[in-house]
Chains A and B, each alone.
Chain A
Amino acid sequence: MREIYLDNNATTKVDEVVFEEMRPYFCELYGNPSSMHYFGGQVQKKVDEARQRVADLIGAHPEEIIFTACGTESDNAAIRSALEVFPNKRHVITTRVEHPAVLTLCRGLSKHGYRVTELNVDSAGRLDMDELRSAIDDNTAIVSIMYANNETGVIFPIEEVGRLVKEKGALFHTDAVQAVGKIPLNMAESTIDMLSLSGHKLHAPKGVGILYVRKGVPFRPLLVGGHQEKSRRAGTENTASIIALGKACELAGQHMGDENTRVRAMRDRLENELLRLIPAARINGGGADRLPNTVSIAFEFVEGELILLYLSELGICASSGSACTSGSLEPSHVLRAMGVPFTCAHGSIRFSLSRFTTDEEIDTVIRELPAIIRRGREMSPFGRELLAK
């Protein structure tokens, strides 16, 4: 059984071209870029090239790119740096729908003397800008708001947020892990001070990410030690993965058009056909501007984990906003923040496509899913009235 992988917001396949690019840097070109000999020096050149490629994808300067181990590290480094830079500012703003990398950190800060504002979203997942306007003040050290949501794909008006934040003199960080490579970003014309990116979401390996820090923005490192990354992130470079990330960013730039045309069309077709074929279904965040590859669809009266298990039997890989998949007992914090009713939240499924997704794969999902939902509803004590209609 060949997998139909529609869980690209969780992680992606390493592009084979990317893998070939990194392959020599394990057993052959294993030198340390900091070394003074030619052997390490040639690796340094490739790391520099990777830095340039990452910078090019997001319209930044290479010296603004700090390589890290993952998106979570980048998020932590950005927020903790801002708090060190402004020791007298004790207020942090984020949103209720952030990734746990930001949300858990911020909730922890609130136990250590910081005031944390979590902005609300509306039923389509859109940010409440008025709430931001009234929350931000001179005491705000940093505003950290994701570029696009991992569960629904809803894109926030990041530049509008950035302009507000600048007026108040706070720093602005965005977790752009889901956005980079899917929609064009240009730091040269942006209000973003710091931005997180993760390699494994754009066909590079796991274990590498970056933090973009705009030139002139004060920064304090999370990891101290050696002088790597201009002393902004100590620790020997993960050279092979950094080189891979560079290549992945180059490819992402080349495929951006495809992502926004062919991939978007497949996503739209999947969404429209499922809504047409399955009663009592709705799109979470359907009314908002969304990433081209993501759809979160809620099916009433059937539980998400069961849907995933039945899909999995057919080789179809998706994810769910259901409580049961995570071992927690409450459905996704994102869907709850949007006020998605419990009847829907437990039965929400996310499909996230990539440039490797094919039309045939989408056909298979459209063919198989209606029967799975029907079967789940037939078993459910609540779904039967619906089926009787």
Chain B
Amino acid sequence: MWDYTDKVKEHFLNPRNVGEIENADAVGEVGSLACGDALKLFIKLDDTKERIVDAKFQTFGCGSAIASSSALTEMIKGKTLDEALGVTNKEIADFLGGLPEEKMHCSVMGQEALEVAIAKYRGGPVPTHDHGHEHEQEGEIVCKCFGLTDGFLKKVISQNRLHTAEQVTHFTKAGGACGGCIPKIKELIAEVLGEQQKQESKKPERLTNLRKMQLIQEVLENEVRPLLWADGGDLELIDIAGNAVQIAFRKACAGCASSGYTSRFVEQKLRELVADDITVEEVQG
């Protein structure tokens, strides 16, 4: 039997916020009957359309899927959409006092449904890891059985610091059916680990302008763009003048309602990995 925490048990025995919201502002659906679990998330916003005032769910799945859905709805109530987008699957699992590793994919499903709901509300393309449903797929499909892309898998690997293919299966289901993509998953892990190591050895003390420009380019290529690809977006570096970096958004990011948020994310990444005084500005071009 699974070693579920008391909090997990409490949430599947007495799930919060089961049901649907009529006239919901945002609805996100992930999973399918064939996959063995599916979650439909309903979100109601306040009058300014910024803050979540209510959230409900319908879930087909095991005890931890129900508990993760219940936890997610509790966690996002009262948050702004941008704050809600910052909720990670790990935070959902932590809220429940932890999940067995084999069940971590339930928490990932919660996070996915939230991203899908918000992306659909904001009018951008739906994130690509919407397995089981027919949506536009961007990125390369790695796991054919569950329809998961490299961008999505890399994001989960990086956020949860996964280092074995088995862990990736537990977190995303990838590789859990026919197993054909396990070699590719191992490659992705190596890639992400390589990036993480590079990241840790970065940020030298003093930079020449030329070196700084090289670093900015590297960070955008290796750290930022893969994450945007995962959600169907992209960016282009337009200019670097001293510490001022100009970027233009492409694909899904162009004209996306949350591009301001994305600019701040890029700036934060560059400050973290290159220099503390970098500023990022979005330009048309």
Q: A residues bordering B, Cβ < 8 Å? A: 301-306, 309-310, 312-313, 322-325, 327-331, 342-343, 346, 378-384
Q: Mark B143-180, 1 if CB is under 8 A from A, else 0.
A: 00000000000000000000000000100010011000
User: When chains A and B are docked, how far (Å) is the Cα of A330 from the Cα of B59?
Assistant: 18
User: When chains A and B are docked, how far (Å) is the Cα of A382 from the Cα of B36?
Assistant: 12
Q: Which residues of A contact B37 (CB under 8 A)?
A: 303, 324
Q: Is B60 touching A301 in the complex (CB atoms < 8 A)?
A: yes
Q: Is B66 touching A323 in the complex (CB atoms < 8 A)?
A: no
The residues in B between 6 and 60 inclusive whose CB is less than 8 angstroms from any CB of A are: 12-13, 15, 18, 29, 33-34, 36-40, 58-60
Given known pairs A324-B61, A327-B102, A329-B177, the reply for A309 and B12 (CB within 8 Å) is: yes
Chain B residue nearest in CB terms to A327: B102
Q: Is A379 touching B177 in the complex (CB atoms < 8 A)?
A: no
User: When chains A and B are docked, how far (Å) is the Cα of A323 from the Cα of B61?
Assistant: 10
Q: Is A381 touching B38 in the complex (CB atoms < 8 A)?
A: yes
Given known pairs A329-B173, A378-B18, A379-B15, the reply for A343 and B63 (CB within 8 Å) is: no
Interface centre among A309, A312, A331, A378 (most CB of B within 10 A): A309
Q: Is B63 touching A382 in the complex (CB atoms < 8 A)?
A: no
B190 at the interface (CB under 8 A from A): no
- Among candidates A306, A325, A379, A382, residue contacting B33 with C-beta atoms closer than 8 Å: A382
B238 at the interface (CB under 8 A from A): no
- Among candidates A324, A325, A379, residue contacting B18 with C-beta atoms closer than 8 Å: A379
User: When chains A and B are docked, how far (Å) is the Cα of A113 from the Cα of B283?
Assistant: 63
Q: Is A324 touching B60 in the complex (CB atoms < 8 A)?
A: no
Q: Is A305 touching B15 in the complex (CB atoms < 8 A)?
A: no
Q: Would you give the shortest CB distance from A245 to chain B, in whole angstroms?
A: 27
User: When chains A and B are docked, how far (Å) is the Cα of A290 from the Cα of B246?
Assistant: 72
Q: Would you give the shortest CB distance from B162 to chain A, in whole angstroms?
A: 16
- Among candidates B61, B100, B103, B176, residue contacting A303 with C-beta atoms closer than 8 Å: B61
B257 at the interface (CB under 8 A from A): no
Q: Which residues of A contact B189 (CB under 8 A)?
A: none
Given known pairs A324-B36, A324-B62, the reply for A381 and B176 (CB within 8 Å) is: no
Q: Which residues of B contact A329 (CB under 8 A)?
A: 36, 169, 173, 176-177
Mind listing 27 A-B residue pairs with CB under 8 Å? Answer: A301-B33, A302-B60, A303-B36, A303-B61, A304-B62, A306-B12, A306-B61, A313-B13, A323-B36, A324-B36, A324-B37, A324-B103, A328-B176, A329-B36, A329-B173, A331-B36, A342-B34, A379-B18, A379-B59, A380-B38, A380-B59, A380-B60, A381-B29, A381-B38, A381-B59, A382-B33, A383-B60
